[in-house]
């Protein structure tokens, strides 16, 4: 029996891998416009970082982490998200001494032991942005605007941004107590098992429980935006006003949006989209003032978000593979073979994309292969071409064939491929 991949871990061949590359490339372009720099962090950290950062009461820490001892019995965890690791890196590198505001983005695999289903994997990929050192709500609006800008740029238009305020360390304890009291007075049997526990341990999480009976029975629960302090309320209004003024960003206030990680305060948001099955959240984030300090760093505010690449990819059409410029078709004879090899190297060094039939074969089968991969030109090298140091060039779209000398082939392809591209772009205008 052959070894299979681990459940919930996927191999991504083209064109799927092309979609991921496209998403990452576009993210880099957009985020750089907003002043973000790429940070690459390790995929493994000491377990305590996630316990302290994400919160011991969260589902992620309680049930979903891949945690194991290393050979010296130190507890390590495969990162379930990027934020905690980015904070650790930021504190360790003392970035706050280098720049007042750090804008960092990171991409890569994350690991959560969840039940795999459509749009939910155990190894999944996030694009993650963090802005550290800026507390004004205009930064919140900027982060949400950038996320919208990025989603539009990759071609995702049909989504809703849900936004809420979670209050701060001044007002949230009071709200939490009020909510706990309200929840305790409800018929506990109407709540799911998780929520019965959460009433005491993490009452805010009851608000965004997806179980219908929990939703129904807590429908009249006191709402966060009505209970936050004046500072939080003013900050929230500024975020909403700035977003309102930007016609590109469409959002709704969802007063029950809580999010599953403990570090959030004030502005939190989630981007939801239908059409990807039960998992509707394609991105989520929020402000986390206090997290850097909680992890042993200075008192630096922060806000950020992460998008799930699997879910973004599900909303995008399949990528069409890039069309090769050439495919070399040759006779299986040493001189033709050597000429083929030299020509392919020369053309690739000149920047063209193309290949030759690695296993040789008849002219007919090699030409079929050139057609199958949709090459623009078949470059044919037979005995005659070896003798005259020339190439029979067949335009695969028009079937026209001419002979070009070896010395002129690069220029010929440059001129003709450029002409082709101009033709195409004119047509698409
Ligand atoms: P999160 O909501 O846990 O937030 O994850 C962000 C996104 O990752 C989700 O919206 C979803 O698209 C994707 N995602 C999460 N779990 C899975 C999974 N098992 N399979 C596929 N996709 C998944 C965070 O991780 C925060 N660190 C975001 C953040 C950054 N907040 C502030 N800065």
**Residues having CB within 6 Å of any atom of ligand 1:** 81-83, 112, 114, 119-121, 124, 126, 128, 130, 260-261, 281-286, 304-308, 310-311
Give the pLDDT score at 82: 98
Give the pLDDT score at 422: 56
Mutate to test the pocket of ligand 1, among 123, 273, 308, 310 (most ligand atoms within 8 A of CB): 308
Contact predicate 50/40, CB 8 Å: no
| Ligand 1 centroid to residue 159 C-alpha, Å | 16
Q: What residues have CB less than 8 Å from 93, skipping those under 6 apart?
A: none
> Which ligand 1 atom is at minimum distance from the Cα of 304?
33
| Ligand 1 centroid to residue 99 C-alpha, Å | 27
Q: Tell me the C-alpha distance between 361 and 49, whole Å.
A: 58
Q: 285-293 — which CB contacts under 8 Å span 24+ positions?
A: 285/129, 285/143, 285/147, 286/166, 286/259, 287/140, 288/83, 288/263, 288/264, 289/135, 289/168, 289/265, 290/169, 290/263, 290/265, 291/53, 291/83, 291/87, 291/263, 292/87, 292/90, 292/91, 292/132
Q: What is the pTM of this model?
A: 0.93
Angle, helix 16-33 to helix 137-154, in steps of 10 degrees: 140
DSSP-derived secondary structure for 272-306: E-SSSTT--EEEEEEE-TTHHHHTTS-S--EEEEE
Rounded average pLDDT per 10-residue block, the chain, 429 residues? 96 96 98 98 98 90 96 98 98 97 98 96 98 98 97 95 95 93 90 90 88 90 94 97 91 93 95 85 97 97 98 95 96 95 97 95 96 97 97 97 97 88 47
| Ligand 1 centroid to residue 348 C-alpha, Å | 40
Contact predicate 380/330, CB 8 Å: yes
> Which ligand 1 atom is at minimum distance from the Cα of 126?
8
Give the pLDDT score at 429: 33
| Ligand 1 centroid to residue 414 C-alpha, Å | 45
| Ligand 1 centroid to residue 125 C-alpha, Å | 9
């Amino acid at each position: 029996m052959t070894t299979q991949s681990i459940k919930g871990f996927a191999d991504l061949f083209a064109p799927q891998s092309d979609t991921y590359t496209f998403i990452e490339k576009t993210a880099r372009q957009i985020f750089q416009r907003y002043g973000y720099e790429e940070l690459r962090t390790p995929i493994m950290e000491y377990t305590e970082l996630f316990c302290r950062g994400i919160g011991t009461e969260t589902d992620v820490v309680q049930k979903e982490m891949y945690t194991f001892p290393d050979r010296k019995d130190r507890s390590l965890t495969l990162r379930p998200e990027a934020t905690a690791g980015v904070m650790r890196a930021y504190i360790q590198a003392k970035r706050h001494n280098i720049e007042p505001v750090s804008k960092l983005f990171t991409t890569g695999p994350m690991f959560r032991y969840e039940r795999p289903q459509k749009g939910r994997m155990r190894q999944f990929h996030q694009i993650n942005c963090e802005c550290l050192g800026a507390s004004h709500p205009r930064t919140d609006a900027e982060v949400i605007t950038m996320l919208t800008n990025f989603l539009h740029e990759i071609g995702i238009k049909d989504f809703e941004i849900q936004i809420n305020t979670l209050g701060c360390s001044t007002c949230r304890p009071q709200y939490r107590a009020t909510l706990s009291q309200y929840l305790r007075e409800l018929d506990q049997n109407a709540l799911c098992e998780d929520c019965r526990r959460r009433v005491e341990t993490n009452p805010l999480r009851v608000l965004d429980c997806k179980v219908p009976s929990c939703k129904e029975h807590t429908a009249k629960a006191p709402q966060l935006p009505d209970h936050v302090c004046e500072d939080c309320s003013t900050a929230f209004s500024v975020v909403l006003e700035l977003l309102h003024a930007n016609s590109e960003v469409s959002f709704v206030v969802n007063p029950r949006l809580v999010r599953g990680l403990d570090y959030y305060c004030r502005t939190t948001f989630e981007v939801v989209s239908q059409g990807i099955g039960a998992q509707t959240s394609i991105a989520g984030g929020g402000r986390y003032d206090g997290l850097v300090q909680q992890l042993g760093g200075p008192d630096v505010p922060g806000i950020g978000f992460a998008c799930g690449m699997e879910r973004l990819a599900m909303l995008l059409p399949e990528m069409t593979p890039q069309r090769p410029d050439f495919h070399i078709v040759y006779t299986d004879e040493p001189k033709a073979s050597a000429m083929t090899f030299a020509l392919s190297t020369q053309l690739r060094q000149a920047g063209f994309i193309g290949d030759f039939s690695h296993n040789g074969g008849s002219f007919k089968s090699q030409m079929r292969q050139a057609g199958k991969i949709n090459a623009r030109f078949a470059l044919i090298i037979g005995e005659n071409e070896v003798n005259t140091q020339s190439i029979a060039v067949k335009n695969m779209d028009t079937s026209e064939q001419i002979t070009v000398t070896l010395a002129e082939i690069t220029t010929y392809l440059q001129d003709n491929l450029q002409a082709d591209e101009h033709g195409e772009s004119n047509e698409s205008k």
